[in-house]
Structure 1
């Protein structure tokens, strides 16, 4: 973030790098400049203040540092399998073998008998005796004072980088060189009043202490300063972007709540809205009335009633003479939304269009014409909606369902279909932890439906092991006898030789034997089936023609069968928390008590056990998403990688929630007082935007 100059120098010009190493640094870690390299932070630190005696080494020690003389060395083994063994003797007369299996020639040539060395490494035990394989060695007489630090940094490296001598020590030398040359050129990035208020370390000092800490307290202060800076600038970018969008783009004004909305709400809504749904409808109404373009994220757990809220928003648009479209990631989900909305609107005689890849040309041409002349007000579809041929007369509202499944450019194509940007409502059934929502969707206003519709009973989740299978089958037969239906989900489609898991085909065969025809009917659905076959099987299950659906996770999103009361997830330890929660949401859609049975082997990793215990303990999607964030980290959560927002080098959204909240609060205060960042005290922030080329942020860049 320094001004153009020294820290923007390409890394190949640093002494000891050159073009070849620079190419590998770029390929392995995306390091292009001096600035990139000094932001390659250590991932842990080793206490180098203590020297152990050889007699003190025990199996509980992760790393040890020894000081002693090399008294002997010898090559052992034949040409094919050779090793170098040296003996280190410490001041108390203890002896320890140092062992090398690679790079033997180089080490043998340089290792000097009789000289005093510092040896560092991870001890191994053979026949109860410790040895030190491939230790780091330094002659005591040549220890470089500038590298002497109480906590030695350890940097991520790769096998390719190590071939170029860029192991942890190699990184340490290069970073030291940059800091030594450029220390006086490091610019402050945060406003001084913020640094003063939070008693933050200066950026200069923080960059030195993060790499070469004098003690643990200084390291903690450096980490705090750099984490805060990282989170602060993410929030500044998002909130500044949000402000720009609101200032530059007026939205269509939905000035009235008209006949369509009122008639549906008073006469045709088949159930009472929950308080949460009413609150969200009110928020959307306020946004669309304000004259500013709405950019709102609607979060709601599976079955919380987001579709009805979306429909009422579409009716609001229609009342004001605007068209609406809803885009879903799959044909199954789009068709389900279409069926649901059509059935709700049927008594009112309002036409709804469906446009997917499977829509026939004749029907497609009709839709195109009806959209262009404004006759069709409501359209539901898949990616087919973004095709150039799809033109609206007056598009006023765009609803994106499960938007993380669409690319940025795909979404932008949709909002460009009107001269005045339409209002945007982004919906997700994947509960997003608060910190993730603040970083991924920090430039959107957020609504949450945190209630389930009245009459819905919480799903009972049970964990069972393989030896409970006979009792499980008995329970399934009881549920089917009551007229209910069952899902059984498997993680694999084909048999895997490496993994000890039942696969889908074996499972289907087994289930068919236990539940024989004609008394029971079993269907199967998986991703390798043709779309028509898949749809046919899904429809049969929806109509109640089959009792059990054996499937892979293709049923995770988009299947609504209120009569299905049991979800059995085989090898549940193979699924992530978010996926388990989504699968569980396929049941519990009717008034009857529903069950989710998690089948696992007895061998569970500690993480798998936490996932299973969490699912059994709670139905709260937000609690589950917080645990998922803790277990997996933000980079693994679906959709976050493509956003480009979460390129975090130090901060951890699971652990640094309070710091993120504080950083956002500071940014909000700054932008409220100085929206254009023209005050002298905010000069650093203005320079940041100029440096990043973000002085003009457009509404297409919404994420």
Structure 2
């Protein structure tokens, strides 16, 4: 139950005076439905008004407060023409301009022959001074009603700044004095005030410095939000860790056979990740670990060796991929090595039907199968394991937490006592990993296998597209293969397809049947069939929208051409580039761009040319685009932060992570005075779902 002290903050915005149904709908869309959402909707600018008695060029384009005499109205007879009111400031002329002005209202507010005080931005237009749509109109006696500085809120069509200012005047006095949940020494070190004082200060900026993310009031609120996030994740993590697992300890015999069959030695980073995974598997509690590795860093081998340990310990192991192509690829990589080591390995996808499916499922349920590679088909109810000990999920951001739990529930007791290893080839900045995957332990493979050559990356003006297309013949003659990625067109899959089809038609005139096409509107079977033709060499140029899956491995692919590269995110460009140069041949990535480029677009293309370090690229992507863009907020379950910024507040996030762990080590049930205050913090930032883990 939410504490009573927070009830008022969680009442609807419609409870505020002057917020009727129309404004409620607009505010809900912009900020949220409750008064607390308005509290988190902080101002982003400040209007400073200058009191002036005469009109001079130095005040043009500034906000001014000026006393004037209203001379005469010039109503517009044409709806497109503005309504004008001629005024005098001393001996000077000033025009007040209103678009779509209502005559009755304006004559009432600004009667001819009267004196008024108005404020607004002073402009010079056609040699005369004017103010368009003054923000305040009052009498000289009411001069105090015009504030000389005023906060500016983020708005949407139909909402005015005055609406938010009036709302703030009502809800800010409602803010309760909440018990302090922050450590006193941290508050002192950072120079932070209490929660209420900080929120009041954030809504009442007096200078530009107050809008900095490092400004004490905003930093304090950002830290509150990050601490709520980390505390919630740590509660979930501890609850998972408390659940009994099983100790999977191998004798190393199967592992040794696989290592001997490998044509290479493991890198130091692979060995280190494997040690962390095996230590978790050997423990008494369930493993929940994220294995991060850049494109081509060798995660699959680490996964196979972890699966071998599970089999040595008498259990079965499975690896699940998000698409059939990736499942087939994993199977083709794993099966020969598994056979060499004396293990049986099966593939289960949606295509498995009839008698073959029945036989496969019987073998799985009887324990005759050691390793299973599959797709979502593994979730189906009739897929039963004899004794599942380890489940590996590839490209976790494609699967929800519920699917992860559904797979782990396939264990022998049906209670989910299965060790879970999640893999991703999307390099995730540390700050993002802490917030999106904070309920997991993390292993990183940060080095590439020896012998992998860097990809030659170049940015080329789109005007040279025809020359690029004409020059592919040499690569084809050498038996190399080429990806040609077409741009995403904003919000329109139809236009995406049109762009891809147009490029396909053009390349087909040059290279005939050597060209294939994949786009998002094709059925999965059609995509798979074309992809297989490309992998087998039946076609040598694959034109595609970005449906080229992460992880698809075609060793002969050496050229990646990306049209309108400026429209893609950095992480996406890096992923695409990682598709080439994987078979020992040197890869080339051509980024075709349409000038002129904006500063962010230039920075994006420059960093790609400078480095192939996926983690550095991901950090830069976070800085340039923000968190939701990298993982795709909807798929990743990434929390949306209202005040905190993962790039600018990364220092605070690290402190919050440590603080959350320390608090729960000392006060597991949050029963102390600070613990109870921290429960209020969880409710305040709507992390209520984590509270139930306190009793678990």
Deviations 1:233-260 (A, max 9, x none): 11121123222321x2122211223322
RMSD: 3.2
2:204 to 212, 217, 241: 212
Give the equivalent residue in structure 1 for 2:195: 203
Contact 1:486 1:548 in 2 (8 A): yes
2:235 to 240, 247, 252: 240
Give the equivalent residue in structure 2 for 1:421: 417
Give the equivalent residue in structure 2 for 1:35: 36
Partner of 1:463, secondary structure, is: strand
Contact 1:455 1:591 in 2 (8 A): yes
Q: Mind listing any 5+ residue stretches in structure 1 that lack a counterpart? A: none
Counterparts of 1:435-584 in structure 2, within 5 Å, are: 435-469=431-465, 471-473=467-469, 475-491=471-487, 503-515=499-511, 521-584=514-577
Return the offset for 1:404: 1.1
Asked if residue 254 in structure 1 is aligned to residue 244 in structure 2, the reply is no
Segment drifting more, 559-568 vs 209-218: 209-218
Deviations 1:198-239 (A, max 9, x none): 331111211111112345566622112111111121112112
Segment drifting more, 219-228 vs 137-146: 137-146
1:227 to 222, 229, 248: 222
Give the equivalent residue in structure 2 for 1:115: 115
Distance 2:491 2:68 in 1: 57
Partner of 1:696, secondary structure, is: helix
Partner of 1:37, secondary structure, is: helix
Return the offset for 1:31: 2.0
Distance 2:57 2:369 in 1: 81
Return the offset for 1:589: 0.5
Give the equivalent residue in structure 2 for 1:11: 13
TM-score after normalising by structure 2: 0.90
Closer, same or farther: CA 494–211 of 1 in aligned 2, 3 Å: closer
Contact 1:234 1:645 in 2 (8 A): no
Give the equivalent residue in structure 2 for 1:338: 331
Counterparts of 1:601-680 in structure 2, within 5 Å, are: 601-680=594-673
Distance 1:513 1:590 in 2: 29
Give the equivalent residue in structure 2 for 1:101: 99
Return the offset for 1:108: 4.0
Closer, same or farther: CA 493–41 of 1 in aligned 2, 3 Å: closer
Distance 2:321 2:22 in 1: 46
Closer, same or farther: CA 38–382 of 1 in aligned 2, 3 Å: same
Deviations 1:68-120 (A, max 9, x none): 315335244325435221345556x5544332113524344323453332322
Asked if residue 432 in structure 1 is aligned to residue 460 in structure 2, the reply is no
Distance 1:633 1:112 in 2: 51
Return the offset for 1:597: 0.7
Return the offset for 1:19: 5.8
Deviations 1:365-387 (A, max 9, x none): 22322222222221222221112
Q: Mind listing any 5+ residue stretches in structure 2 that lack a counterpart? A: none
Distance 1:25 1:494 in 2: 26
2:292 to 299, 317, 337: 299
Deviations 1:635-659 (A, max 9, x none): 2223333555522111211222222
Distance 2:502 2:123 in 1: 44
Closer, same or farther: CA 481–558 of 1 in aligned 2, 3 Å: same
**What is the number of equivalent residue pairs in this alignment?**
683
2:162 to 158, 163, 169: 169
TM-score after normalising by structure 1: 0.89
Partner of 2:291, secondary structure, is: strand
Closer, same or farther: CA 6–531 of 1 in aligned 2, 3 Å: closer
Distance 1:18 1:259 in 2: 72
Give the equivalent residue in structure 1 for 2:257: 263
Closer, same or farther: CA 135–341 of 1 in aligned 2, 3 Å: farther
Deviations 1:119-172 (A, max 9, x none): 224x6664465643333123264768698474x22223333xx3xxx5221111
Distance 1:270 1:698 in 2: 49
Distance 1:142 1:499 in 2: 61
Return the offset for 1:436: 0.8
Deviations 1:431-452 (A, max 9, x none): 1111111111122111111111
Closer, same or farther: CA 465–420 of 1 in aligned 2, 3 Å: closer
Contact 1:351 1:376 in 2 (8 A): yes
1:377 to 355, 370, 380: 370
Asked if residue 365 in structure 1 is aligned to residue 367 in structure 2, the reply is no
